[in-house]
Amino acid sequence: MKEATRDIHEKVAALGESLGLVTTREVSESLFRLRLDSVYQPRIDLLWSVALDRPKREALAWALGADTSGITHLPIVGVEVEGTQPTTKTMASDLANLTALGAQLGLLVVSEEGEKNIYRRAARAVRTVRRSFGDVRVHICHDMFYGLVTQRLRREGAGILVDLTGGNVNLRKWANVVRGRSLESDQPFLCTMADHPGRTGRSRAMAYRSGKRLAPVASTTGRGGAGGYQVFALGSAIDNAGQAADTAPEAEVQAYTERSYEDITIGVTAGAIADIGLGVGRRGLEINGRPRSQKDGWLEVRTASGRVGVLAAPLTVLWNGLAIYAALPAEGAFDHHVIAFFADAAPANLDEVLCLMKLRAIEHRVGVVLLARGVREAVKTNKYKNIQRFRERDGVFGFNAQSLGGTWSTATHDPTFGVPRQYFPAYLSLLNP
């Protein structure tokens, strides 16, 4: 290593330590490294990481669903240093190494001592990689259930979204969210997970682009999709027809529940007897129910099960991942929440509409109703985020009064079922630019 390059290394290491981070040199292993075969072994010059004490390791174990007793550091920033006159190909390799090591941030440090305008060449290399492959951003497990995390990553330039899940999950529930996020963002969303034989649940890689499932171009997985890896070409043709039965994800078609409830009833045809009546008129959605009052743009309807807040929104709003957060009522304003989307014409793609209805129900703990000409649908979730799609019976949809607590109910004292309450204000702050 030349003296000039060594000097840059020392300055970068000192900067990391001044920020309270641990600096490690010549790194080829990290917690989030891509698990590749021996043909390619990424290596970067320096890694800045955060030391993990026992409480942090326990929190990480909960998030990943895996043993973290051997994990001592969380990688934050990967650094590649070029202190001489690297070729553009060399700098592209640096970017590949930074990506493969999986640090949240990557720095390519160059020096113009040996070559003027090398910074411009490096910047062009970065732009080329991003233009070709997108800027990859990572969710950890349940992060993807909370849309403000995804929205912030997109605002920061994410072109490809990846979720790292501990494994052994309810695949239908996971597919509801992965597919919904890819449709909402109109970009690729991939999910990879571990497989723990003997545990309940199942494991499988998932890949969607704009709501459409992608077929792997290579796979070493066994029957059921676990026990190996899959490779997806994000620019490849969409797998509309579906893969072989032993490798295809759970069917995206949502079956109806045969259960019928009367806790909260919603009438969607003229003359239907229900707690809340909905109909599309000249001025938009008409909501009937007594007594009622307006609160923060929501209509309050009193029922035997408590105060129900009803929010009316045009169907086009369903694609806006921030809209419901922007209309958030005051905490405790209602006991139950229903969002009714309406349109003058039937949706061109009901499958995509149902996909996003399910996502909103899971994310916000609300009942979601659709009225679009002759198309009427209603979904909600139980406390385990499993979707219920209800049949219309005599012009009425019947909900039970569980898991309709609205967005505020995702702030919990049990992190298994939501965002820890002490962090919920920070979560909502992600709504701000």
pLDDT of residue 131: 63
Q: Quote the tokens at residue 239.
A: 């797998």
Stretch (H or E) spanning 316: none
Q: What is the pLDDT of residue 383?
A: 83
What per-residue confidence (pLDDT) applies to 260?
A: 86
242 residue type, one letter: G
Specify the residue for token string 């720095």. 107
Please list, in sequence order, all residues whose beta carbon lies within 8 angstroms of the beta carbon of residue 299, skipping any fewer than 6 positions away. Answer: 287, 289, 292, 293, 309, 310, 311, 312
Is residue 261 a contact partner of residue 393, using CB atoms and an 8 Å limit? Answer: no
Residue 242: predicted pLDDT: 40
Instruction: For 153-291, list the strands marked E by DSSP.
Output: 158-165, 188-193, 206-209, 212-213, 218-219, 230-231, 264-267, 276-281, 284-288
Per-residue pLDDT of the chain (433 residues; tens, 9 = 90+): 788 788 889 999 999 888 889 998 998 877 666 655 555 678 899 999 888 888 877 777 776 666 777 778 888 899 999 888 888 888 888 888 888 777 778 888 888 776 777 878 888 877 777 666 667 777 888 899 999 999 998 888 788 888 988 888 999 999 999 999 999 999 899 998 888 888 888 888 999 999 999 888 888 888 777 777 888 887 654 444 443 323 334 445 789 999 989 999 999 998 899 999 999 987 788 888 766 788 888 999 999 999 999 999 999 999 999 999 999 999 999 999 999 999 999 999 999 999 999 999 999 999 999 999 989 999 999 988 899 999 999 999 999 999 999 999 999 887 777 898 999 999 999 988 7
Instruction: Say what the pLDDT of residue 65 is.
Output: 64
Q: What distance in Å separates the CA atoms of residue 280 and residue 286, rounded to the nearest whole number?
A: 6
CA 30 to chain centre: 23
Residues of the chain with CATH 3.40.1350: 3-133
Q: What is the pTM of this model?
A: 0.73
**Do 152 and 50 meet the contact criterion of CB atoms below 8 Å apart?**
no
Give the model's pLDDT for residue 245: 29
pLDDT of res. 291: 65
What would the CATH number be for the domain defined by 3-133? Answer: 3.40.1350
* C-alpha to C-alpha distances, 245 to 175, 189, 212, 221, 251, nearest whole angstrom: 16, 22, 17, 14, 10
pLDDT, position 266: 97
Residue 310's alpha-carbon distances to 127, 280, 289, 305, 380, in angstroms, are 46, 14, 10, 14, 14
Q: What is the pLDDT of residue 252?
A: 57
